[in-house]
Structure 1
Amino acid sequence: MSLEHRPNRIILVRHGESEGNVDDTVYERVPDHRIGLTTKGFEQARQTGAAIREVLDGESVEVYVSPYLRTRQTLETLGLPVAERDVRVEPRLREQDWANFQDPADIAEQRQLRDRYGHFFYRFAEGESGSDVYDRVSTFLESMHRNFETPAAPRNVVVVTHGLTMRLFCMRWFHWSVDYFESLDNPENAQPVVLLRQKDFRYKLEAPFTQWNPDVVPTERERSSWL
């Protein structure tokens, strides 16, 4: 692949605040993929969209979006200058599967087990582990890189997805350790995470993820992944 065809920036965006973010009982009666944004979530997406459009400054853009309702609503509300043909609905960018309708008491217990076991390796009963999501994100990256191979490749890529998926995307891209991944917070709702292309055609994060566990000291490789 010709390196000059790589986009100037890759912008990851978490969906805006969803109904599940404010009321976890919704998972008992609404499938996860059908949970939409709150009024606040739409407003968050509008503000983020205005900021992204200013950064793009008229440059070409291609979009990948998780098929979940809340991510598609976020994308629509961002108001990006993109044609329908340049938007790819990508199932590999979906949320970590916790399996079907959820019992909040059971999920709360499993979350406690996950905290003890480790977020990357713990697999929800009948659902996915973080490592499963990592594997499908890895195959998505292979597909995305193939789309960079032509001179007509867009100058910017926007990926609208979920918080855990964004962290795993960066873990895979920058070859972070499991310990460092597990020490990081998810981005806030509608928060963009920007990977900027450098003069050597490699990418760096515009800003690092925040760490909830400061006891994990980033390695030199991990520190070199941000500006």
Structure 2
Amino acid sequence: MKTTIYLVRHGESEANAEGILYGQTDCPLSVRGISQAEKTGEYLRDRQIDALYCSDLQRARVTAVAIGLFHPDLRVRTNIALREINCGDWEGKTVDWIRENYPEEYRVWRENIGRSVRPGGESVAQMQKRIVRRIKHIVKKHEGQTVCIVIHAMAIRAFCAFAEGKILDEMKDVPWVSNASVTTLTCEDGKFTLEELGYDGHLGDRVTTLKF
């Protein structure tokens, strides 16, 4: 049986708007981010969604609630394993600060993100393993159904690299997705297929991307 998965990136957070890495630190949505979440909820309102999951971080939960308003029979299920990568010493820091204080780690992040490690935090490999395991568990639980999972930019990028059979060195070829965008995958007989990456046409002039 074929399972459909919508991976939604959370709406713009206040940290996104300021160009700050927050990783697993909680941060609220910006005013624009709330509007984006509402727009994505409207976009998905007529889709059949059988289960709604999200990271336990506020920016993902608020986005999931906005989607759930159009699917009142669903409850939002939070899970800590769906969190963004732990940025360690980089949490709460600007890109300029990271570039100045961790030049070599920053270079690897920009040139070969799949091999990057956040000092004091997670490596991309560790985060990918965690995300893949959790999403596989969700898909197995809802085989043949449609699930919506609200998560984070790095998590989406890492999972899509896995779905396309890319090794970590090829993860750099998977683009960043914009806030509140919808990435569609299917899974059949244990094989994941990326159908559409980061659709954001429903956001109009509210589209925002990473400032890195």
Q: TM-score, normalised by structure 1?
A: 0.73
Q: By how many angstroms is 1:160 displaced?
A: 0.1
> 1:122 — aligned with what?
116
Pairing 1:146–2:140 present: yes
Which of the numbers 9, 14, 18 marks the counterpart of 2:13? 18
- What is the correspondence of 1:1-227 to structure 2 with a 5 Å cutoff? 4=1, 6-7=2-3, 9-24=4-19, 32-54=24-46, 56=47, 59-78=48-67, 79-83=69-73, 86-99=75-88, 101-104=91-94, 106-109=97-100, 110=102, 112-115=106-109, 118-148=112-142, 155-196=145-186, 203-208=192-197
Instruction: Look up the SS of the partner of 2:114 in the other structure.
Output: coil
Change (3 A) 1:114 1:16: same
Over the matched positions of the two proteins, sequence identity in percent amounts to: 25
Number of residue pairs matched by the alignment: 193
Instruction: Look up the SS of the partner of 1:97 in the other structure.
Output: coil
Change (3 A) 1:143 1:18: same
Amino acid at match of 1:49: G
Change (3 A) 1:26 1:94: closer
Kindly provide the CA deviation profile for residues 81-110 of structure 1, in whole angstroms up to 9, marking residues without a partner as x: 1545x4321111111111265443542343
Change (3 A) 1:173 1:184: closer
* Unmatched runs of 5 consecutive residues or more in structure 1: 211-227
* Range 102-111 or range 66-75, more displaced: 102-111
User: In proportion to residue count, which structure has more strand?
Assistant: 2
Amino acid at match of 1:98: C
Change (3 A) 1:158 1:208: closer
Change (3 A) 1:43 1:127: same
Change (3 A) 1:172 1:165: same
Q: By how many angstroms is 1:178 displaced?
A: 2.5
Asked whether the 8 Å contact 2:56–2:83 carries over to 1, the reply is: yes
* Unmatched runs of 5 consecutive residues or more in structure 2: 200-212
Amino acid at match of 2:59: R
Amino acid at match of 1:161: I
Amino acid at match of 1:177: I
Change (3 A) 1:195 1:25: closer
Amino acid at match of 1:20: A
Instruction: Look up the SS of the partner of 2:154 in the other structure.
Output: helix
Task: Give structure 1 regions of 4+ aligned residues with deviation exceeding 6 angstroms.
Answer: none
Q: TM-score, normalised by structure 2?
A: 0.77
Change (3 A) 1:106 1:206: same
Root mean square deviation of aligned Cα:
2.9
